[in-house]
Amino acid sequence: MARRGRLRVFLGAAPGVGKTFSMLEEGSRLLAEGRDVVIGVVESHGRAATAALTEGLPLVQRANVAHRGVELEEMDLAAVIERAPEIALVDELAHTNAPGSAHAKRWQDVEELLAHGIDVISTLNVQHIDSLNDVVEQITGVPQQETVPDSFLRGADQLELVDLAPQSLRDRLAGGFVYPAERIDAALSHYFRLGNLTALRELALVWLADEVDQALRGYRAEHGIDGTWEARERVVVALTGGPEGETLLRRGSRIAARSTGGELLAVHVTSQDGLRAAGPDVLARQRALVEQLNGSYHQVVGEDVPTALVEFARSVNATQLVLGASRRGRLVAALTGPGIGATVVRESGDIDVHMVNHAAAARRLALPPLTGALTTKRRVLGFVVALLGGPALTYLLMLSRSQDSITSDVLSYQLLTVVVALVGGIWPALFAAVFSGLTLDFFFIEPIFTVHIHQPLHLLALALYVVIASLVSFIVDRAARHTRAATRSAAESELIQTIAGSVLRGDDAAQALADRTREAFQLSAVRVVGVGTADEPGREIASSGDATHDAPVTRVDLGEYATLELHGAPLAAAEQRLLSVVVSQLSAALAHQQLEQTAREIEPIAASDRVRGALLSALSHDLRRPLASATAAVGGLRATGAKLTAADRAELLDTADESLAALATLLTDLLDVSRLQGGVLSIANVPTDPAEAIAPALDELALGPGEVRLALGHGETLVNADPVLLQRVLVNLLTNAQRHSPSGVPILITTSVFDGALEIRVIDRGPGVPHDRFDDIFVPFQRLGDTDNETGLGLGLALSRGFVEAMRGTLTPEDTPGGGLTMVVALAVAHDAPLSGEAGVAPQHHGGST
């Protein structure tokens, strides 16, 4: 059988990180070592540095594939197989081949090369991994049509991450090393945003770390290695459902935090029948705590708890195992043998076990209740069977009485005792045992018709009746408990599953919980009412059913947010246990709603504070300059007006006029924004065509075609904006761009639509702004070294950002590729307006990289 080739993949977070570069460098190194290396296909995308690396490497010419009258070049798979090199360099593993090729996808070509014994070195971006496709689309807003199955990729013999810091990648892109100049601006503002690149980089690192972890587990399983390899700390905390769980979790979290990259895992072992005693409400709270501690929660099934814990710890390659000290007392421990902790310590091997003491450890022995789990009806029925069955059995045995029938008589009364135990439990069974013993002695043991126990064996027989009755009744009681627990567990599981399903389907969490609670407990109504005051009752948050005045009401406190009202019969103790789970979920849902509402309330307040700060600064700073200039000019006219020449008088009048005009403009801005922040002047957000704000802004500044270039790509798309404020924002941005642009270099204004937002970009080719000073340009009166006080008040960008944020948009600075500053105004697209067919200019990336 021919040897299968080996696959080596260079994985990157995004195009441009250097995957193809690394592949070609590795090919050149192997060729220098005397290995037979050929280029199957390399996509240089016009990059000179990449093309230079291909020089000296043997190349298999591509095949020409005709498709709809166009000649397309693809890897010549047949030629590569015929050439039979030792190693083939195949770029862009996720590439889609032209119709008519041997395979639809390039990774299928690679699969055939591997089958022919040819080693392959290839490249891939994380966005093209099939299982991550939807996650990448959520991050970038760009769907990927070309994917590689995870099963194929995980079968690679070697995966290497080609990593590059996000800002370094943006710098490479801006420098023209990734895309041609016409695609740079759109790429930087869309797919190659800093946040996108950071998220993609983390995604690639996490996926590769998971792959390394799987490879490690596979190697250990393949070689039968059960011992722990401490590649990183993994701390497993065993939860019993008891109150000590929180203490154990916090201790485990501290242990995991002591090492870099430590991982916390919590595990609860449940029996195969699902009946092991554990409080679901306690486990729900502990599971929430695990998530707060950045851990993961697991539930495994196993009858032998120590074995299940150790097996789970070994399966996750755990290094530490945290257990709570036994809650059994010394007497119980002496009678029942070693507990879970001692057994785990004995079987853990090289896994460190931490026994943590807690308040519930070594508690006193508590006897089980004698009432049992059977209902009152069944206990009464047991007494009835004993009272009626005893005389009936005695009558039948008297009819067939003989000298040799004593054995069958004894067994018959024993059968009666067992039947009564099965029906009614412990107390009817004890009654039947004593009653049967006395009846047997009175009617069937010499001397008859007397109750006289003159032989010790007869007393022993009576004691055996009692013991048998107790044992049988114990088994019956235990079966009844398990039956009740099974029924309750099924109901709890169904309720929790239904609640989770309602919330996942997008239903309102509080309403879904109210509906399911009313159905589960068969109540007439359930209401969730907010906390009110003495003067004003709380508002109704959610309700289910119709509340009647005569139905009893049970109120459950949901913390500081609300109260749960249950209209109907009071719940039994067993139902209270399930209700506690619902209350915990409902409290969490209401807390989440409260946080969302608080965030919505704070957002406009924060925007208002930012603008108000700018206004107060303006009053104390720029108001002085024009006022001082006007005062000086008028004072000069008054003092020496008769001695001034006509030119000097005109100059002073112009100074006063300009200063008063600047003062009037500043006061207008301050007054309008003050009224806006005070709620007197409301923003009229209406569907607006950005072109209708751009044109008046250009007219106001008297900018001609030689000074401004327009590239409006939004088509008929409208935005939600105040046309007047949007025009003022554009005037400020254009004024700033005009001030810093070199003479003769026009300002560029572009528009585009991307991911539900329309972006207006004002681009200049000036000196630009360092990244660490981006925030400073929005601070009032910051001109970043511009000392010409005649060119502006230093308030324009601060007010512009305030105006844009008031319109629920964003104003952000970016580097202009090739030098300069780009100001991006992003506003929400009007939903009732038609969308342009050109929904953005985000590049459709394939697999290429440098």
The span from the CA of 388 to the CA of 382, in Å, is 10
Q: What are phi and psi of 167, to 5 degrees?
A: -70, -35
Tell me what pLDDT residue 781 has: 45
Across 252-265, average pLDDT = 78
Q: Is the peptide bond before 456 cis (omega within 30 degrees of 0)?
A: no
Tell me what pLDDT residue 826 has: 93
pLDDT digit string (tens) for 733-746? Answer: 998 888 888 888 89
The span from the CA of 431 to the CA of 293, in Å, is 56
Tell me what pLDDT residue 120 has: 93
Across 575-584, average pLDDT = 72
Tell me what pLDDT residue 499 has: 59
pLDDT of 824 strictly over 90: yes
pLDDT of 709 strictly over 50: yes
Q: What is the mean pLDDT of the chain?
A: 76
pLDDT band, very low/low/confident/very high, at 552 (cuts 50, 70, 90): confident
pLDDT digit string (tens) for 381-426? Answer: 888 888 888 888 888 888 877 767 777 877 887 788 888 877 887 7
Tell me what pLDDT residue 88 has: 93
β-pair partners for 526:
544, 566
pLDDT of 209 strictly over 70: no
Tell me what pLDDT residue 839 has: 33
Across 297-303, average pLDDT = 79
pLDDT digit string (tens) for 129-152? Answer: 887 777 777 777 777 778 888 888
pLDDT band, very low/low/confident/very high, at 836 (cuts 50, 70, 90): very low
Across 469-496, average pLDDT = 69
Contact 354, 322 (CB under 8 A): yes
Across 631-654, average pLDDT = 75
Tell me what pLDDT residue 171 has: 80
Radius of gyration of the chain, Cα coordinates, nearest whole angstrom? 41
The span from the CA of 817 to the CA of 810, in Å, is 21
Of 574, 594, 575, nearest to 586 by C-alpha is: 594
Q: Contacts for 197-201 with beta carbons within 8 Å, 24 or more apart? A: 197/13, 197/14, 197/166, 197/169, 197/170, 198/166, 199/139, 200/13, 200/14, 200/126, 200/127, 200/136, 200/139, 200/140, 201/13, 201/14, 201/163, 201/166
30-34, 142-146, 391-395, 713-717, range with the lowest pLDDT: 142-146
To the nearest 10 degrees (0 to 180), the angle between helices 376-399 and 426-444 is 10
- 169: phi > 0 → left, psi -120 to 50 → alpha, else beta; which? alpha
Tell me what pLDDT residue 610 has: 60
Q: Virtual CA dihedral for 92, 96, 98, 99, nearest 10 degrees?
A: 150
Across 529-550, average pLDDT = 75
pLDDT of 357 strictly over 50: yes
pLDDT band, very low/low/confident/very high, at 458 (cuts 50, 70, 90): low
441-455, 579-593, 754-768, 776-790, range with the lowest pLDDT: 776-790
> What is the dihedral sign for C-alpha 633, 634, 635, 638?
positive
Pairing of strands 87-90, 320-324: unpaired
Across 469-497, average pLDDT = 68
Tell me what pLDDT residue 629 has: 73
Q: To the nearest whole percent, how much of the chain has pLDDT over 90?
A: 11
Contact 453, 441 (CB under 8 A): yes
pLDDT band, very low/low/confident/very high, at 330 (cuts 50, 70, 90): low
pLDDT of 326 strictly over 80: no
pLDDT of 336 strictly over 60: no
- pLDDT higher for 322 or 832? 322
> What is the dihedral sign for C-alpha 96, 102, 103, 109?
negative
Q: To the nearest whole percent, how much of the chain has pLDDT over 70?
A: 74
- pLDDT higher for 506 or 171? 171
pLDDT of 32 strictly over 80: yes
pLDDT band, very low/low/confident/very high, at 632 (cuts 50, 70, 90): confident
Highest-confidence segment of 108-117, 161-170, 316-325, 379-388? 108-117
pLDDT of 433 strictly over 80: no
pLDDT band, very low/low/confident/very high, at 467 (cuts 50, 70, 90): confident
Tell me what pLDDT residue 141 has: 74
Helices (H) and strands (E) in the chain, counts: 25, 23
Whether the full predicted model's pTM is greater than 0.75, yes or no, is: no
First to last CA, the chain: 38
Q: Virtual CA dihedral for 573, 574, 580, 581, nearest 10 degrees?
A: 180
pLDDT of 728 strictly over 50: yes
Tell me what pLDDT residue 599 has: 77
Of 114, 102, 31, nearest to 65 by C-alpha is: 102
4-8, 198-202, 323-327, 566-570, range with the lowest pLDDT: 323-327
- pLDDT higher for 631 or 125? 125
pLDDT digit string (tens) for 48-93? Answer: 778 888 888 999 898 888 766 677 788 999 999 999 999 999 999 9
The span from the CA of 111 to the CA of 92, in Å, is 14
Domains of the chain: 7-222 (3.40.50.300), 234-356 (3.40.50.620), 376-480 (no CATH), 683-850 (3.30.565.10)
